[in-house]
């Protein structure tokens, strides 16, 4: 591989493309709910929001890469996939500049979204940018305490689905909030599983994640709940029952994922399970959309 291609491949790996499905899933579900309500799809806000969300998540991932390396969390003993700073592909300073560029581009795109959606979108956008930076930045990073899963549930579930619906309808509605609450649960399970794998390393680095507080046995039970509860929540919401019927087929998949977590030892062997949990979140969104579409 020539140097330019190697550098581009490493840059692509640095943004953690497998995690970007967590941005796609809520936008897909929220925009579908909005389009069904209005009877049409507003493509410009949808595509702009998608790009802005991907940029915010990429910036968050990059900032996390640099911050964890500088704080001594990402050591050679780390069990997760390779990180750019840890591997020496790029300097922490260069990675942080790339993160700020992602945040800056997302802010620029947010100007158009704010012109369409007004102050609610301004507040959502600024909160998303701040959360992306504060996840591993500032004196008390979100990722270094027990609130990371709540952060993911809120921003990759409730806010993302309801905000996407709002960009289509220009009003906040209860159904997208409930749909976002459901979809955010398996997204939170992705982070829970990441911290489950890294428990010992996080403890050595002084991180007090939710898994640290619960311990692995309780964390496994919480993981199971985060995969099953979205199906229950959709079934309990009258407007989402068609989606619940479509997503019921994921129950065997959820059982398979839960069983794998109980059987696999902590370590690198959990990395495929983490990717499959992210795909479960996307599958939940896709099947929910199919269930909601008129026959």
Determine the average pLDDT of the residues in 81-87: 81
Query: 195 CB contacts (<8 Å, ≥6 apart)?
Result: 148, 202, 209, 210, 211, 212, 219
Among 49-53, 131-135, 170-174, 279-283, the minimum mean pLDDT is found in 131-135
Q: Tell me: the pLDDT tens digits for 157-212?
A: 999 999 999 999 999 999 999 999 999 999 999 999 999 998 888 888 788 999 99
pLDDT at 138 over 80: no
Give the CATH class of 3-292.
mainly alpha
CB 166 within 8 A of CB 120: yes
Q: For the chain, what are the domain ranges?
A: 3-292
Task: Number of helices (H) and strands (E) in the chain: give both, helices first.
Answer: 15, 0
What pTM did the predictor assign?
A: 0.92
pLDDT at 82: 76
pLDDT at 74 over 70: no
């Amino acid at each position: 591989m020539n140097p330019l291609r190697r550098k581009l491949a490493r840059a692509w790996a640095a943004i953690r493309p497998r995690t970007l499905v967590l941005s796609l899933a809520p936008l897909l579900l929220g925009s579908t709910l909005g389009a069904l309500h209005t009877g049409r799809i507003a493509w410009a806000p949808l595509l702009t929001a998608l790009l802005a969300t991907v940029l915010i998540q990429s910036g968050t991932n990059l900032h996390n890469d640099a911050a964890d390396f500088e704080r001594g969390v990402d050591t050679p003993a780390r069990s997760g996939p390779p990180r750019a700073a840890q591997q020496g592909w790029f300097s922490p300073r260069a990675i942080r500049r790339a993160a700020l560029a992602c945040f800056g581009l997302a802010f620029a795109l947010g100007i158009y979204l704010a012109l369409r959606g007004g102050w609610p979108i301004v507040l959502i956008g600024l909160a998303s940018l701040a959360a992306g930076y504060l996840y591993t930045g500032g004196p008390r990073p979100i990722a270094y305490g027990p609130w990371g899963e709540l952060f993911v549930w809120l921003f990759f579930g409730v806010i993302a689905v309801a905000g996407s619906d709002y960009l289509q309808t220009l009003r906040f509605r209860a159904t997208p909030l409930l749909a976002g609450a459901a979809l955010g649960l398996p997204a939170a399970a992705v982070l829970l599983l990441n911290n489950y794998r890294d428990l010992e390393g996080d403890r050595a680095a002084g991180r007090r994640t939710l898994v640290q507080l619960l311990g692995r046995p309780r964390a496994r039970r919480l993981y199971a709940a985060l995969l099953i509860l979205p199906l229950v929540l959709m079934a309990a919401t009258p407007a989402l029952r068609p989606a619940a019927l479509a997503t019921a087929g994921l129950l065997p998949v959820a059982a398979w994922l839960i069983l794998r977590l109980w059987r696999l030892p902590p370590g690198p062997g959990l990395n495929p399970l983490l990717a499959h949990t992210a795909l479960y979140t996307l599958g939940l969104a896709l099947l929910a959309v199919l269930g909601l579409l008129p026959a």
